[in-house]
Structure 1
């Protein structure tokens, strides 16, 4: 599959992409990276299930740090040479993480086989531990800051994927407009504005407090959207195949939403790509009112700002710092978009 779009989507600034994905030690604060349990620490029953599904013993397990689940996420190789990717979590690590992985399992079971998705091998759920066994995609994550070549590849593939997922192949998917988790941040903060709130946000807090409900109306649609596209939720192969992973937040919504969500990660990364110009010409957002895009960005920024002020959840020590870093970058972008 060649996912490169026929014309360039990104600006012409930037540098060529790195040949390999950055290591965990090379990650910056703009990337989503948590602290994961190693594969060997999985319960014996779960590791036994993995080996039965793969047909032989696991001889190599390389942990991946992207994302925030405290459970293992590892690239596996068996004695027979078979490769796979496993992610798993139990309630003792974080009480909410099994629910999130179960949501991803439901989405992966509902998604059709498409070149932009990893193949599902098997799933496991004993009521406490849940695991998902997937194709091990031999690819790299886009580096931070994002560069033009990767923007072209990913957003070109996203346009194709969105077309394939419209109308949604999962009629029972959650509806994005019913997701209140992203819409109430500014409204919550407006009830008792913190003294150290960003001055621009504080000056516009009355208007921002209404952005969440407006955004919920705007994201309604008939596509199946990923809703969590970041560099760590993507893989790009040497052949140019783009694979979108981590579908825990998949929902039925407007087809333009994922392009806007991807642009949040571009902005956070410090890219030299002109993100506003990109949104204006991309096939999924070019005809969308720029104010609608800005309203969605405002709502997500409010969620991140409010949540970054909460205590760290169990097993997720890096989450609040990432949310705060992202919110700060998005606030600066919002100030420019609002003039």
Structure 2
């Protein structure tokens, strides 16, 4: 961490940092650490510069705007301060003494987290950040990848042969519906972006927020849960929901066939895995 960023941390916390415990998980490069100062104060810092990855500072800036707009909620982390010198961007949060959900998921944590997400969705509908990006617009390129799969001649699972155009049409229809959504979505919910405590479920890492339908985050989170031996509540038989799942599958399938971006060496294998999860879900919903 550059000296100027470290000085900001210690100035904000009012004491020198004597312990920094790096936290693992996610894909972004940079510092992610739980801190303890000489005075005993605790905090969590995440910070990154353009030299580590040119796009990640922009994601951190989006998170700053989103968290400030949401304000204090039991299910979101309390933001203490932010840093931005045009190169390095940092966020300093409360230190949350908790644990990540089990992965594979277990039923008790599935039920608890989905209940908390329902409450969070209520609080974020309509979006407290009126100018938040529309996820269907911002993510249109990613969610419209099935034509790229066709163009590049990428192999698909046997059941999908001859049906790729069907999924492309479903995805396009979903984007039209999603563009009208008014709820602020986290848009990146999975086990390693959630912290459980004895009395809280905290949704962290708000780097990809945007407006969408109320079911947006539920679909994303259930996808992360589906590989586990748990019971999940059925989602409505809505073509837009099926189309959203299909759109994610297409984006991940095409992405998994590309070269890894700078600083993110593990993301392509994860994308391939996620594509298969979503494709199985689409197949189930289509019958």
TM-score bin (small chain): over 0.9
8 A contact 1:177–1:216 mirrored in 2:
yes
Corresponding residue number in structure 2 for 1:166 = 125
Distance 1:307 1:79 in 2: 45
Instruction: Extract unaligned runs of 5+ from structure 2.
Output: none
Question: In the alignment, does 2:238 pair up with 1:279?
Answer: no
- Out of 147, 168, 175, the position equivalent to 1:209 is 168
Write the deviation string for residues 281-315 of structure 1: whole angstroms up to 9, x where unpaired. xxxxxxx4343322111101111111111111111
Write the deviation string for residues 159-194 of structure 1: whole angstroms up to 9, x where unpaired. 111111111111111112312143211121122322
Corresponding residue number in structure 2 for 1:312 = 260
Cα distance, 1:274 vs structure 2:
3.1
Distance 2:263 2:201 in 1: 30
Corresponding residue number in structure 1 for 2:247 = 299
Matches within 5 A, 1:255-270: 255-267=214-226, 270=227
Distance 2:70 2:160 in 1: 39
Corresponding residue number in structure 2 for 1:338 = 286
Higher relative contact order (CA 8 A, sep 6+): 1
Corresponding residue number in structure 2 for 1:323 = 271
Root-mean-square deviation (Å):
1.4
8 A contact 2:17–2:36 mirrored in 1:
yes
Corresponding residue number in structure 2 for 1:8 = none
Q: TM-score, normalised by structure 2?
A: 0.95
Distance 1:145 1:181 in 2: 30
Equivalenced residue count is 285
Matches within 5 A, 1:1-339: 42-179=1-138, 180-194=140-154, 196-219=155-178, 220-239=180-199, 241-267=200-226, 270-275=227-232, 278-280=233-235, 288-339=236-287
Distance 1:215 1:64 in 2: 36
Q: TM-score, normalised by structure 1?
A: 0.81
Distance 1:53 1:326 in 2: 39
Q: Secondary structure at the match of 2:36?
A: strand
Distance 2:238 2:222 in 1: 13
